[in-house]
Amino acid sequence: MTEIHLLEQLAAFADCGTLSAAAEKLHTSQPALTRSMKKLEAALGVTLFARSKNRLLLNECGTFAASMARRVLEEDREFEAHVKAYDRSLHTISVGFCAPIPQAVLTPLLNNFFAGLTISADMTDDSSFLEKLERRIYQIAVVHEQPKGEQFHWKKCGHEDLFISLMPENPLATRSEVHLSDLDGMSILLLSRIGFWANTHRAKTPNAKYLLQIEQESFWELAMNSSYPVFESSYHIRHGQTLHGRINVPLIDSECHTDYYLVALATERKRFATLFDHITETTVW
């Protein structure tokens, strides 16, 4: 079997074009690299280089071998990444959350059902979550669009609606409902990490000034002590966790209403059966 470091050196020579440049890239000497290339030729039983007095070039077979070496090296990296990811999955459950509310509701359940394991969570836009499940970067994910494909095991786990939280003196506070476009031009307080919601409102409010806050404590402090509008969740309203003295007006745009789905690979169905059996359509509600 060909030693992987010889393929790395062949690929480096092909990329750099000269022994000196390849040796510098690999942090080795030219004589050592020359010996490695001769060793590779001997192992393969073919000639890979056209040699002249002052120059070494890949011949046709060598060029082909270099392209194959790159493929093998990529597969080797993928092999290593998959094995490491699998090892992490034995000790850690990596979860992708598409929004803050599902993370807040489901994290205590995960800690309860998988006591003794480390729960590692990301909260971001979920456009790549299914791919990350297939690559085993995540073991579980919460997405806001129904998954497709037999490779996934999923269950609806909740629903969320967005409201705009306004001070009583705001002209929109007297309305029974509001469109996102009605907010255009306003200054609005907004948390910076809100998953897929971050891109929901911007298309219809291109002239709004979003005052982004990184820390939740700073965000709530400003919200409680200013008249800036803020987005509010139906979850907070339903559980009596709203800001005092404000009026929450429903946003009626379709993108302001979403279902949530808990997803795992179908091959992991048995491992997460207890969690999925516990989850209902109103867990995140």
Give per-residue pLDDT as tens, 116-155.
899 999 999 999 999 999 998 999 999 999 999 999 999 9
pLDDT tens digit sequence for 165-217: 999 999 999 999 999 999 999 999 999 999 999 988 888 999 999 999 999 99
φ/ψ region of 136 (left if φ > 0, alpha if ψ in -120 to 50, else beta) reads left
Identity of the residue numbered 268: E
Say if residue 42's pLDDT is above 80.
yes
pLDDT tens digit sequence for 78-122: 898 888 877 777 789 999 999 999 999 999 999 999 998 999 999
Token pair, residue 84, equals: 């490491």
Q: Can you list the alpha helix ranges (DSSP code H) found in 27-99?
A: 30-44, 60-91
Contact 98, 230 (CB under 8 A): no
Q: 159 in helix, strand or coil?
A: strand
C-alpha 25/C-alpha 37 separation (Å) is: 15
Confidence at residue 111, expressed as pLDDT on a 0 to 100 scale: 94
Identity of the residue numbered 45: G
Question: What architecture is domain 159-257?
Answer: 3-Layer(aba) Sandwich (3.40)
**In the chain, where are the structural domains located?**
4-80, 159-257
Confidence at residue 2, expressed as pLDDT on a 0 to 100 scale: 85
Contact 230, 188 (CB under 8 A): yes
Q: Which CATH code of 1.10.20.10, 1.10.10.10, 3.30.300.280, 1.10.357.10 fits the domain covering 4-80?
A: 1.10.10.10
Confidence at residue 201, expressed as pLDDT on a 0 to 100 scale: 87
